Structure 1
Amino acid sequence: EHYARSRRVYALDLPGFGFSDRSPRDYTPRMYTDAVLDMVAEIAHDGQDAPVDALALSLSSEFLARAAAEQPDLFGSIALITPTGFGKREQFYGPIGSTRGSTLVRQLFDVPLWSRPYFDLLSSKPSIRYFLKKTFGSYEAIDAGLAQYDHISAHQPDAQHAPYAFISGLLFSADIDRIYEALDIPTWLAYGPKIEFSRFDDLGNVAGRPNWSITQFATGGLPQFEALAAFTAAYDTFLVQAAISRLA
């Protein structure tokens, strides 16, 4: 909403979430990367043929990074908000296209007898608040509107399929360090240390790269909710620097 007042903004519902198709199928990093690239193609068809400035949150940062690594000319810059794949003990240099997941675990989740009932427990209001607390860093910081939307969205038909791929680890790339290090376009990493799911105590493989900028906010994992003014100011500065670097 903030940037829609000054520039054309597109918001993508990834497959299996929001208003996208949620049917049972194989949800993979390849599918999500292609969804990002398809969206960029649609933006071009809409008359916006300049390279896009794209922003992604959490795990979707891996999909955006892969898309930008594969087709960098489509992107003016990318912003990765609380991205996955970083941490002191995490090193992901697996075979290209490999994941950290288990198809057996996914198959167990898909057993009809308990597939939907178990997901309904995972997506109950208390459970959603518990996981949002780990994201925001405290119950007090939780955005009430986000919690309400999460509950409504999770109780739509077929809502369990993509989340089960997530829980099974099949959406997490085992080669993501290779992807992050392959990026050569302006890249902004923004995070808040209060999040309990992710760690950012080892950014050495990207911190020294000239195309990477890193900003830490005094927030949880969603700085755009908790510190909008500071977040947009930092992002605006990054976008200006990115534009200058493209002209150099």
Structure 2
Amino acid sequence: MNAALDPVLARQSQSLGPALPGERLSFPGGLVCYTKGEGAPLLLVHSVNAAASAAEMRPVYEHYATWRTVFALDLPGFGLSERADRDYTPRLMTDALHEAAAQIRQRCGPGPLDAMALSLGCEFLARAACERPRNWGRLALVSPTGFRGARPLRGAPGATRAIPGLHAVLSVPLWAPFLFDNLTRPKVVRYFLEKTWGGRQIDEQAWAYAVETARAPGARHAPLAFLSGGLFSADILDVYEKLRQPVWMSHGVRGDFTDYRAKNAVERKPNWRFNVFQTGALPYFERPQEFFAVCDRFLTR
């Protein structure tokens, strides 16, 4: 079928531009990482959704590039990183962070690496920091998953929240491309961003790149694993509780990401700090001055 007539083929024929300015680094495992600035290194980890990429971290990247060496990773299956048809699991994502940390520490020095993650990216960062605590410094968790509801997630170590059989159904080649195409149409992407922001006012540049990245070849593979629950960890609350690094958790009060009832499991821990912003799930887009005033203090203590 002619690519001009078929939306799926048209999507696959387009090349994806960079999410962020600066130098692009290639890490082992098909990983791409953006970097800019000078000073102590800081790693940024985006969220996971149907159209995720390092572009979600743009305000943070731009802010810290003025006085730190900032690195923004495209997770496996997203952005410019490899989007192969493979198993996308918390283990794959956590290992990608271990690799990124090793590459950054080799480039910038062997000290602990500060990092910030968004939403589901927080689960991968927390697991990496638990597994190799000497490699990681201060951890900023923005709208982290795993704290929803009153029932804590304390499953078997390494277990996921995958719904049995769902990924197999979603990924059937007969309909998987068309399912993903419908999930990532511009109007649908806008709808989900409005749910994330908690209102109609969203960042148009973020929307435009989300639409673009969802059209890249192989874009559906990782998101289908996400939709099946396979990228969520069933033991994540235990992982959060084991963190020994200084942790700053922040979130908003609007939109679909406002239920953090289970954070009482870590509220009394002396290494955890908390801030709630009158925003949606991406406070650094909506109230950058307020957000960075707090975050800067945390990262420089």
TM-score (structure 2 length as normaliser)? 0.78
Q: Which amino acid aligns with 2:159?
A: S
Secondary structure of the structure 1 residue equivalent to 2:275: strand
Structure 2 counterpart of 1:9, from 58, 70, 73: 70
Summarize the alignment of residues 128-207 of structure 1 with structure 2, pairs less than 5 Å apart: 128-140=189-201, 142-207=202-267
For residue 287 of structure 2, the aligned residue among 219, 227, 232 is 227
Among all aligned residue pairs of Structure 1 and Structure 2, give the percentage whose two residues are the same amino acid. 46
Deviation at 1:50, TM superposition (A): 1.7
CA distance in 2, matches of 1:236, 1:51: 17
How far, CA to CA, are the matches of 2:151 and 2:187 in structure 1? 30
- Quote the offset at 1:93 in angstroms: 0.4
Task: Give the Cα–Cα distance (whole angstroms) in 1 for the partners of residues 68 and 81 of structure 2.
Answer: 24
Q: Does 1:25 align with 2:25?
A: no
Aligned to 2:39: none
In structure 1, what is the equivalent of residue 182 of structure 2? 121
CA distance in 2, matches of 1:237, 1:183: 20
Unaligned stretches of 5+ in structure 2? 1-61
1:239 maps to 2:299: yes
Q: Return the offset for 1:103.
A: 4.6
Residue 89 of structure 1 and its aligned partner are, at CA, apart by 2.6
**2:116 maps to what in 1?**
55
Matches within 5 A, 1:56-71: 56-71=117-132
RMSD, aligned CA:
1.0
User: How far apart in 1 are the matches of 2:132 and 2:262?
Assistant: 27
Please tell me whether residue 104 in structure 1 is matched to residue 104 in structure 2: no
Q: Is the contact made by 1:59 and 1:83 (CA closer than 8 Å) also made in structure 2?
A: yes
**Greater CA deviation, 82-91 or 130-139?**
82-91
Q: Please name the residue that 1:44 is paired with.
A: 105
In the aligned structure 1, how far is the partner of 2:147 from the partner of 2:80?
Answer: 30
CA-to-aligned-CA distance 1:165-184 (integer Å, 9 cap, x gap): 00000000000010000001
**What are the superposed Cα offsets for residues 116-173 of structure 1, whole Å, 9 maximum, x if unpaired?**
0110000001111111111000012x11000000000001111000000000000000
Q: Is the 8 A contact 2:119 2:142 kept in 1?
A: yes
Question: RCO higher in 1 or 2 (8 Å CA, sep ≥ 6)?
Answer: 1
What is the rounded CA distance, in whole Å, between the counterparts of 2:258 and 2:220 in structure 1? 23
* 1:198 positional shift: 4.6
State the partner residue of 1:246: none
After the TM superposition, list the runs of 4 or more consecutive aligned residues in structure 1 that deviate by more than 2 angstroms: 87-90
1:193 shift after superposition: 1.4
Amino acid paired to 1:221? A
Taking the aligned partners of 1:89 and 1:137, their CA distance within structure 2 comes to 22
Tell me which protein shows more helix as a share of its residues.
Answer: 1
Aligned to 1:86: 147
**1:194-222 deviations in Å (ceiling 9; x for gaps):** 13145123421011100000110110000
TM-score (norm 1): 0.94
Q: CA offset at residue 88 of structure 1?
A: 3.0
Say if 1:88 and 1:110 are closer, same or farther in 2 by CA, change over 3 A.
closer
Give the 5 Å matches for 1:205-216.
205-216=265-276
Q: Supply the AA of the counterpart residue of 2:144.
A: P
d(CA) in 2 for partners of 1:50, 1:73:
8
Aligned residues between the structures = 240
